[in-house]
Amino acid sequence: MLEKILALDTQLFIYLNSLGSERYDALWLIITKQVNWIPFFLLLFYLIYTKLGLRKTGYLLLFVAVLVLATDQITNLFKYTFQRARPCNNPEINTIIRVVQSRSSFSFFSGHAANTMAVATFLYSIFKKQFKYFGLLFLWPLIFAYSRIYLGLHYPLDILSGYLCGFILGYLMFKGYQFTQIKYFPL
């Protein structure tokens, strides 16, 4: 059963990866670099700051930092436990796929997908009532994670598993944040 799932995952990866073209490679390389998202992060910071003020924004950013740290550590635990080769390093397919970028680390599961989904879930849970279109925040993990497939670095199952982990951790962190808000910052 697991072999069949992994075979389907590989087939879906090959299909999605083959949709790319050299014409768009530079764009996806820009999208996949975290540093290029700084203007987006600054916009989020500004929106949060306007709603919470400096002290509460700093407190919220502490939760985000702990969330990213926890997500990274869980991702590394999974990567070194399962040791699944990245598509770009898989000798069965790396000659037939588009390898735009290569990494030597393991593939399962995607840290990019887990981190972005965790932060998006956490922030959405807090601000969904304050901002009318805040659900658009989930475009960030979708675009960011697809870049990993496009570049030849992750299978779809890596992305979906990262999303699931990120969603769970983001929601749990939201519950922790909510608890501390009631205790330390009552309305």
- 82-108: pLDDT as tens digits: 999 999 999 999 899 999 999 999 999
pTM of the model: 0.91
Q: Is residue 58 included in any domain, yes or no?
A: yes
Q: Is residue 4 included in any domain, yes or no?
A: no
- 27-36: pLDDT as tens digits: 999 999 989 9
Q: Is residue 67 included in any domain, yes or no?
A: yes
> What contacts 165, CB < 8 A, 6 or more positions away?
71, 74, 75, 78, 109, 114, 117, 118
Does residue 152 carry a pLDDT above 80?
A: yes
Looking at the structure of the chain, the number of domains it has is: 1
Six-digit token pair at 126?
Answer: 């807090």
The residue range of the domain holding 102 is 22-184
Q: Is residue 64 included in any domain, yes or no?
A: yes
pLDDT value of position 132:
87
Q: How far apart are the C-alpha atoms of 67 and 113, rounded to whole Å?
A: 13
Q: Is residue 77 included in any domain, yes or no?
A: yes
pLDDT value of position 75:
97
Q: Is residue 68 included in any domain, yes or no?
A: yes
Compute CA 3 distance to the chain's CA centroid, rounded to the nearest angstrom: 26
DSSP 119-142: HHHHHHHHHTTTSTTGGGGGHHHH
Q: Is residue 1 included in any domain, yes or no?
A: no
- 35-66: pLDDT as tens digits: 999 999 999 999 999 999 999 999 999 999 99
Q: Is residue 15 included in any domain, yes or no?
A: no
